[in-house]
């Protein structure tokens, strides 16, 4: 049999193929030749054949028949064979293959080979793709090599150990002795990999972390090494654009971050070096900025002094002005992380951030938008909104929904006047009307209802907007609703805020009928229009025209419209005396959240009787300790992080929703904000008065409680303590549905006051079956280091019988054992 | 850690793939296809980072080749750019003004160099000199053995 063709030859040949078919033919031919060569157990050319196979594999062709051959190559004594064999193993064999385990013995032998390059191959392969079983078998060998004086092997062994720990965390302990003097090495490779190993250990185990902090005095060692890197002169071997070993510097900074987090002593020990790095690092090239970036992240995460934090934010501010878009991107991401804790410092860079809204890069624009919303406050709301509305006008469709929601939220919280609020809402509806979320329509309607003095102005503006454009459904829906309610104000020309328009009844009815007939209107919109027309029958005088319209739609194909029309017809015919009362002006609506606490007390099976009484006392002046509770609950801008690991809520709005959930607790918000404070005192008193009832602390077993029970949806909380950490309460929610139709797209969200930390794990499903046939469970972990009374605000969204339902509720009847 | 590194041409042909997480062949192919499409669709003015699934993707174009790395959320994107650059420098030093053809015809060497620079998704050696020295020595070892075999093996 002639010698198989060389690798380069094959590559050249395949590249001459002009079509996919031609290439496939060549490959098949060569594969056949390789297969027969394998069958003949040809040792000389096995290496060459496997190399060719690997090339074909990269092109996308199957190469599984070469797996065993790789093993034979690894077992060979020739270095060339081993090199290709290990490469083949890494490419073709992963831990899912049965053949994988057969490698273990070969690797074990090679780990003890006399040639370091062979040992290196084995370490590399084990460290890249070793399975858990292999790692268990060979951990001892790796540990041995970690202690060798050969730095070439030591550095590889360190990273191999990292892989072993990732695969089999229980083995971490056995590597501890070997880490003793890793950092006293001079070799940078060993230093770098050692820092990676120590980082992995500290991240995985709080005990290790404590050990390294106290016993090993890791921080001073790292500070010393970092100092040497910065202060020492030029070292050609490790220099990158004037900076000595940036890779090592960055890893050290990262390890310092972990060591300094929540630890005063460690943080203090590293303050100086962080300041030094932050001020002395050259910023003209990417390398320097990479180090500064890591430094900033570390400063923000540890307990650094305020001067250092300001320095860090200023570095980020400088980054924002950098020409390099990568740097700008990184700055925006970091600022987003720090805006909650260092709000004022970030505010100083507001104008630069707003400028980034005009950047060409999509990722930068998104970051800038999120950050801008986080920076809006009472003082800058007018200016910021102008910029954000301009952004809304010109941005890509993918941003519009989130931007619109953000604008609504910010407007709700910080609107300086009702007129401004309504104008802003109008602006959003007219520019991005088709992108606003569905639940914004009812929210806006409620807002408009509550701004009594603005009714005339609002309806006028909405009417004018309708004349321009009827394609944006949310706008059309809000507009028709308003015209239905306030049509009389439209006619009377009473507007104070701007020039009143002159319009006749017929013109208005023309517009509304146009909406009904238009192809652009969705069925929901049509429903709104029909109802609006009906309402006008008590406000306008052209009742006959309205009667005609209503009767026409009595035979509409759309069932919803037909039903409405028939009922309205009946109203005209048989119940005309009731019509004025039924179609009266809507009263001011209360926001649903304020109904929360009283609902829970009524339905909670374990309701404390005194808690019920606590609901009723009038809002008297608060004693001092209640004021403290108040400040405590005033989340305001300090959003409590809720890490929801499951459902697809959009990330940009998730933060917004949290603000929404906690925003109602803010008593110092501006007057027009819809969160009505009158319900706050009962809530606070409730919390205080429920305490005396549970003086005797039950020994074990925290009783479950009903957290929510409304409209057929019942949510129970059951408790258990997380064993390693007594500050963590593990709550399991069970949601059941007693109605006859199931609840789909069920999403449970929760927020807690800022002294707590909350983590939501994935729910069991998002469909709550009907008639209590099953339940949705989800685990919540609450960290309560200050042992404060646990309270929670929950938000439920689901779809029931085809329509979306949303409810906010407060849970404050937690048994004391759950938080003491 | 780096989860994987892909090298591909402007036409989307894969030139090198290094995976540091266990995935089936099918998943690897799917990820590769998706990512290649996403990166090739990016305009030149856009930044080198993008969020993809739950990872951060750092990519840079050198002549006709895209170097694309997926790193985890705690990793520093800017230093990842430096890692990519360092790898390119190593290839350049080894091949002498490296171009895409070098990597096509000597893909196994490209892998060997990568495996001396990175291990398990992390950098194992931060000195350019040391990486190149190790490769040089390993190449010599390969040659010596081959040389001996050629000298003493019976001609076929």
ipTM of the complex: 0.93
φ, ψ for residue A757 (rounded to 5)? -130, 145
| Cα gap A793→A658, rounded to integer Å | 10
> Which one of B50, B126, B149, B156 would you mutate to disrupt binding with A, by most A Cβ within 10 Å of its Cβ?
B126
φ, ψ for residue A557 (rounded to 5)? -70, -35
The count of CB pairs under 8 A between chains A and B is: 161
The verdict on a CB contact (< 8 Å) between A247 and B83 is: yes
User: Using the 8-state DSSP alphabet, how is residue A698 labeled?
Assistant: P
| Cα gap B13→A507, rounded to integer Å | 64
Which stretches of chain A score pLDDT less than 70?
1, 590-701, 721-726, 820
pLDDT band at B135 (very low <50, low <70, confident <90, very high): very high
Instruction: Tell whether A51 lies on the interface with B, counting CB pairs under 8 A.
Output: yes
The verdict on a CB contact (< 8 Å) between B119 and A127 is: yes
Residue of B nearest to A165 (CA): B120
Residue of A nearest to B13 (CA): A59
| Cα gap A203→A196, rounded to integer Å | 11
Q: How far apart are the first and last CA of chain B?
A: 48
B residues 17-76 near A, CB within 8 Å?
17, 19-20, 22-24, 29, 43, 45-51, 74, 76
Instruction: Tell whether B155 lies on the interface with A, counting CB pairs under 8 A.
Output: no
User: What is the percentage of chain B residues whose pLDDT exceeds 70?
Assistant: 92
- What's the half-sphere exposure (Cβ side, CA atoms, 13 Å) at A276? 15
| Cα gap A95→A215, rounded to integer Å | 38
Identify which of B15, B119, B126 has the shortest CB distance to residue A188.
Answer: B126
CA angle A61, A67, A73 (to 5 degrees): 125
Closest CA to B39 of B4, B3, B82, B69: B69
The verdict on a CB contact (< 8 Å) between A58 and B107 is: yes
| Cα gap B155→A169, rounded to integer Å | 53
Query: Per this entry, what is the length of chain B?
Result: 156
Distance from CA of A80 to the nearest CA of B (A): 5
- Which residues from chain A sit within 8 angstroms of residue B134, using beta carbons? 117, 120, 152
Return mean pLDDT, chain B: 91
Residue B96 falls in which region: left (phi positive, over 0), alpha (psi -120 to 50) or beta: left
- DSSP readout, A744-758? EEEEEEEE--TTSEE
The verdict on a CB contact (< 8 Å) between A131 and B22 is: yes
Residue A813 contacts residue A611 (beta carbons within 8 Å): yes
User: Using the 8-state DSSP alphabet, how is residue A93 labeled?
Assistant: -
User: Using the 8-state DSSP alphabet, how is residue A17 labeled?
Assistant: -
Instruction: Tell whether B89 lies on the interface with A, counting CB pairs under 8 A.
Output: no
Helices (H), A356-396: 362-375, 381-394
Closest CA to A288 of A235, A242, A333: A242
- DSSP E strand stretches across B79-134: 118-119, 122-123
Per-residue confidence (pLDDT) for residue A820, from 0 to 100: 66
Instruction: Tell whether B10 lies on the interface with A, counting CB pairs under 8 A.
Output: no
- Which residues from chain B sit within 8 angstroms of residue A59, using beta carbons? 14
CB atoms closer than 10 angstroms to residue A45 = 18
Q: Kindly state the tokens that stand for A387.
A: 């910029």
The verdict on a CB contact (< 8 Å) between A156 and B124 is: yes
User: Using the 8-state DSSP alphabet, how is residue B143 labeled?
Assistant: H
The verdict on a CB contact (< 8 Å) between B137 and A117 is: yes
The verdict on a CB contact (< 8 Å) between A3 and B115 is: no
Instruction: Tell whether A721 lies on the interface with B, counting CB pairs under 8 A.
Output: no
Residue of B nearest to A154 (CA): B124
Q: Kindly state the tokens that stand for A634.
A: 């005033």
Per-residue confidence (pLDDT) for residue B28, from 0 to 100: 94
Instruction: Tell whether A156 lies on the interface with B, counting CB pairs under 8 A.
Output: yes
Element (H, E) at A257: helix A246-260
Identify which of B20, B81, B141 has the shortest CB distance to residue A286.
Answer: B81
Element (H, E) at A132: helix A132-146
CA distances from A514 to A428, A560, B151 (A): 23, 18, 96
């Amino acid at each position: 049999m002639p010698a198989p063709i060389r690798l380069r030859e094959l590559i050249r040949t395949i590249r001459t193929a002009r079509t996919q078919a031609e290439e496939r033919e060549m490959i098949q031919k060569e594969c056949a030749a390789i297969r027969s060569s394998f069958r003949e157990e040809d040792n000389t050319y096995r290496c060459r054949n496997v190399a060719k196979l690997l090339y074909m594999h990269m092109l996308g062709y199957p190469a599984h028949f070469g797996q065993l051959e790789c093993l034979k190559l690894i077992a060979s004594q020739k270095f060339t064979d081993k090199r290709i064999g290990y490469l083949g193993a890494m490419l073709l064999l992963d831990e899912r293959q049965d053949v994988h385990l057969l490698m273990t013995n070969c690797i074990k032998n090679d780990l003890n080979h006399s040639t370091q390059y062979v040992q290196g191959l084995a370490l590399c392969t084990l460290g890249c793709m070793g399975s858990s079983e292999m790692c268990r078998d060979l951990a001892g060998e790796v540990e041995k090599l970690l202690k060798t004086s050969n730095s070439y092997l030591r550095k590889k062994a360190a990273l191999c150990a990292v892989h072993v720990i990732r695969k089999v965390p229980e083995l971490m302990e056995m590597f501890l002795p070997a880490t003793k003097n890793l950092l006293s090495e001079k070799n940078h490779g060993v230093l770098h990999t050692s820092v990676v190993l120590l980082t992995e250990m500290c991240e995985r185990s709080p005990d290790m972390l404590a050990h390294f902090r106290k016993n090993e005095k890791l921080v001073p060692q790292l500070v010393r090494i970092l100092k040497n890197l910065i202060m020492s002169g030029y070292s050609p071997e490790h220099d990158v654009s004037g900076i000595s070993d940036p890779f090592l510097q960055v890893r050290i900074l990262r390890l310092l971050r972990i060591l300094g987090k929540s630890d005063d002593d460690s943080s203090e020990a590293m303050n100086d070096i962080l300041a030094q790095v932050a001020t002395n690092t050259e910023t003209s090239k990417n390398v320097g900025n990479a180090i500064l970036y890591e430094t900033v992240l570390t400063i923000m995460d540890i307990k650094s002094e305020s001067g250092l934090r300001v320095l860090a934010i200023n570095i980020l501010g400088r980054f924002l002005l950098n020409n390099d878009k990568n740097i700008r991107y990184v700055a925006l991401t970091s600022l987003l992380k720090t805006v909650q804790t260092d709000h004022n410092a970030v505010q100083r860079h507001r104008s630069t951030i707003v400028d980034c809204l005009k950047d060409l890069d999509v990722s930068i624009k998104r970051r800038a938008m999120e950050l801008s919303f986080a920076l809006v406050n009472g003082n800058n709301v007018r200016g910021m909104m102008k910029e954000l509305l301009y952004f809304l006008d010109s941005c890509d469709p993918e941003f519009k929904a989130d931007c619109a929601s953000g604008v609504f939220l910010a407007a709700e919280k910080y609107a300086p006047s009702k007129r401004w609020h309504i104008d802003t809402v109008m602006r959003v509806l007219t520019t991005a009307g088709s992108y606003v979320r569905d639940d914004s329509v009812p929210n806006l309607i409620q807002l408009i209802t509550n701004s009594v003095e603005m009714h005339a102005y609002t309806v006028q503006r909405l009417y004018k907007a309708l004349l321009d454009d009827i394609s944006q459904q949310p706008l059309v829906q809000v507009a028709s609703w308003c015209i239905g309610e306030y049509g009389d104000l439209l006619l009377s020309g009473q507007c104070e805020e701007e020039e009143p328009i002159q319009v006749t009844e017929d013109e208005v009815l023309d517009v509304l009928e146009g909406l009904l007939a238009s192809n652009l209107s969705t069925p929901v919109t049509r429903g709104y229009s029909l109802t609006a027309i009906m309402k006008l029958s008590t406000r306008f005088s052209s009742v006959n025209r309205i009667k005609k319209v209503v009767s026409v739609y009595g035979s509409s194909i759309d069932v919803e419209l037909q039903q409405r029309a028939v009922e309205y017809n009946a109203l005209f015919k048989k119940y005309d005396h009731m019509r004025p009362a039924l179609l009266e002006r809507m009263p001011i609506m209360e926001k649903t959240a304020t109904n929360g606490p009283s609902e829970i007390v009524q339905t909670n099976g374990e309701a404390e009787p005194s808690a019920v009484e606590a609901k009723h006392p009038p809002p008297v002046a608060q004693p001092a300790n209640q004021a403290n509770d108040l400040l405590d609950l005033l989340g305001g801008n300090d959003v409590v992080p809720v890490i929801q690991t499951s459902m697809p809520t959009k990330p940009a709005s998730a933060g917004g929703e949290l603000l929404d959930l906690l925003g109602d607790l803010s008593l110092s918000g501006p007057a027009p904000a819809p969160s009505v404070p009158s319900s706050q005192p009962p809530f606070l008193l409730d919390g205080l008065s429920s305490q005396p009832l549970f003086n005797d602390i039950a020994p074990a077993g925290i009783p479950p409680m009903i957290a929510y029970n409304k409209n057929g949806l019942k949510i129970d909380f059951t408790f258990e303590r997380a064993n390693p950490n007594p500050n963590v309460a593990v709550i399991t929610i069970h949601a059941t549905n007693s109605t006859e139709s199931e609840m789909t797209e069920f999403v449970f969200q929760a927020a807690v006051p800022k002294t707590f930390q909350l983590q939501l794990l994935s729910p069991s499903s998002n469909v709550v079956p009907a008639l209590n046939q099953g339940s949705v469970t989800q685990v919540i972990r609450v960290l309560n280091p200050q042992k404060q009374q646990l309270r929670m605000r929950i938000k439920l969204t689901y779809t029931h019988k085809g329509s979306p339902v949303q409810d906010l509720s407060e849970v404050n009847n937690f048994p004391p054992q759950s938080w003491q | 850690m780096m989860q994987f590194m892909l090298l591909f041409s402007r036409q989307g042909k894969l030139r090198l793939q290094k995976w540091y997480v266990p995935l089936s062949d099918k998943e690897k192919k799917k990820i590769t296809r998706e990512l290649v499409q996403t990166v090739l669709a990016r305009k030149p003015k856009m930044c080198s980072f993008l969020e993809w699934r739950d990872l951060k993707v750092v990519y840079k174009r050198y002549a006709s080749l895209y170097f694309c790395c997926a790193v985890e959320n705690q990793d520093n994107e800017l230093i990842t750019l430096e890692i990519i650059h360092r790898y390119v420098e190593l290839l350049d030093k080894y091949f002498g003004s490296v171009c895409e053809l070098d990597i096509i015809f000597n893909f196994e060497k490209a892998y060997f160099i990568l495996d001396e620079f990175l291990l398990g998704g992390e950098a194992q050696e931060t000195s350019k000199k040391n990486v190149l020295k190790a490769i040089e020595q390993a190449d010599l070892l390969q040659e010596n053995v081959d040389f001996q075999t050629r000298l003493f093996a019976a001609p076929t």
